[in-house]
Amino acid sequence: MVEWRPVRPIQVRIDSAALRHNLGAAKRRAPRSRIWAVVKANAYGHGLARAAAALAEADGLALIELEGAIELRRAGERRPILLMQGFFSPQELEPIAAHGLAVVVHDAEQIAILEKARLSRKIAVCAKLNTGMNRLGFGQGDLGEALGRLRSCAGEITLMTHFADADGKRGVRWQLERFETMTAGAKLPRSLANSAAILRFPETHADWVRPGIMLYGCSPFPDESAEKLELRPAMTLSSELIAVRKLGAGDSVGYGCTFTASEPMRVGVIACGYADGYPRHAPTGTPILVCGKRTRTLGRVAMDMLFADLSGIPEAAVGSPVILWGEGLSADDVAASAGTVSYELLCALSPRVPVTEVG
């Protein structure tokens, strides 16, 4: 029989031990709060069922997609599950009630739908307050009426808001003050903090925290690394060199000839492109590991391939290991070079990349 490679060398490794470790980090930071592990967007690309299992010590799960929530329930998930964007039409309410899901309610139209519905049981809700993000939520003027109506048509009510700049210069104080003013006197559980607020602002922790990106081992902050925060990358995207070539001065690589060698050099071609989820807008100079050594990408990322500079890596040859991001190279660094955030890289991982699980 002829020897053959069963798969293209690209793969993604999901490390359950890293997910558990990062959840532990969230718990240590917010020891008095319950944790909704945020698993939207297929658990930031890590696989919903896999992440839910690895995050078994979280008190609840929060996501956007009703299908995902139902899939979790069908697989036997019994923890609270929160739909963080609520529902979009009345037809969703019966499955939401039947599966015992909690929903965010952010405007009066949704309350009217809840009031009209004839449901098998009442639905727990998170009333979302707009404290400055100006995306979703009740304002100061309409919260009182909303809560009054929810008290008769919904189950347990939690008060919730979301921070616009917990990772940036404005911080959280301005929104926290508005939230406290708006909710003064209401004896209801509260949920405010995303990863950035969990890590930097203990005063926001309240009854439930909602960590997302930190669970996956990336930093929410542009100015503080995941490593410094003692988070471990849960996703490692790796591949191999599938060709190595020598360029002479004046030779260029790839579409658009955007990189031209100024002197003779070796370059590697890697089986990974934007159809795998690697960002096409990552420019020449984006960090990448070849044979465990940090080097840079060259030229334009194609659909199925990209280039790396092999200067200073004489041992690099066809079959040499490459890490696009993950262990040894934070997705945060790759994202920064590509003008985006690790969130986007993780959740854009393509389903064509085979997954292996460890930990």
Ligand X SMILES: *Cc1c(COP(=O)(O)O)cnc(C)c1O
Helix (H, G, I), strand (E, B) or coil at 14: strand
Please, which residue, 27 or 162, has the CB nearer to ligand X? 162
What is the phi-psi region of residue 61: left when phi exceeds 0, alpha when psi lies from -120 to 50, beta otherwise? beta
195 near ligand X (CB under 6 A): yes
Q: Is 190 in the site for ligand X (CB under 6 A)?
A: no
Query: Which is the catalytic residue, given 40, 44, 274, 278?
Result: 40
Residue of closest CB approach to ligand X: 212
- Residue 62 is inside which H or E element, if any? strand 60-63
> What tokens were used for 268?
């590697």
Least distance (Å) between residue 93 CB and ligand X: 21
Contact 334, 325 (CB under 8 A): yes
Q: What angle do CA 58, 62, 66 make, to 5 degrees?
A: 135
Torsion sign over Cα 30, 33, 38, 39: positive
Distance CA 359, CA 236 (A): 13
> Would you call 4 exposed, middle or buried from its count of C-beta atoms within 10 A (0-12, 13-18, 19+)?
exposed
What phi and psi, each to the nearest 5 degrees, are found at residue 243?
-160, 150
Q: Are 67 and 49 in contact (CB under 8 A)?
A: no
Closer residue to ligand X (CB): 45 or 220: 220
Q: How far is the CB of 179 from ligand X (least distance, A)?
A: 14
User: Considering 116, 228, 246, 255, which one is annotated as catalytic?
Assistant: 255
Residue closer to ligand X by CB (options 214, 301) is: 214
Among 33, 194, 204, 295, binds ligand X (CB under 6 A): 194
DSSP for residue 264: -
Enclosing H/E stretch for 147: helix 143-153
274 is catalytic: no
Query: By CB under 6 A, is residue 183 in contact with ligand X?
Result: no
Q: Does 21 bind ligand X (CB under 6 A)?
A: no
* For ligand X, the closer CB: 209 or 322: 209
CB of 12 to ligand X, least distance (A): 19
Instruction: Give the footprint of ligand X on residues 155-174 (CB under 6 A).
Output: 162
- Taking every pair of Cα atoms in the chain, the longest distance, rounded to a whole number of angstroms, is 76
Q: Is 246 a catalytic residue?
A: no
Binders of ligand X among residues 37 to 66 (CB under 6 A) are: 38, 40
Which residues, numbered 61-120, are part of the site for ligand X (CB under 6 A)? 84
Among 211, 217, 277, 279, binds ligand X (CB under 6 A): 211
277 binds ligand X, rule: CB under 6 A: no
Q: Please, which of residues 217-276 interact with ligand X by CB under 6 A?
A: 220
What is d(CA 139, CA 355) in angstroms, rounded to the nearest whole number?
Answer: 44
Question: Nearest distance from residue 334's CB to ligand X, in Å?
Answer: 17
Number of residues that bind ligand X (CB under 6 A): 12
Q: Would you please indicate which residues are annotated as catalytic (active-site) residues? A: 40, 255
Residue ranges in contact with ligand X by CB under 6 A:
38, 40, 84, 162, 194-196, 210-213, 220
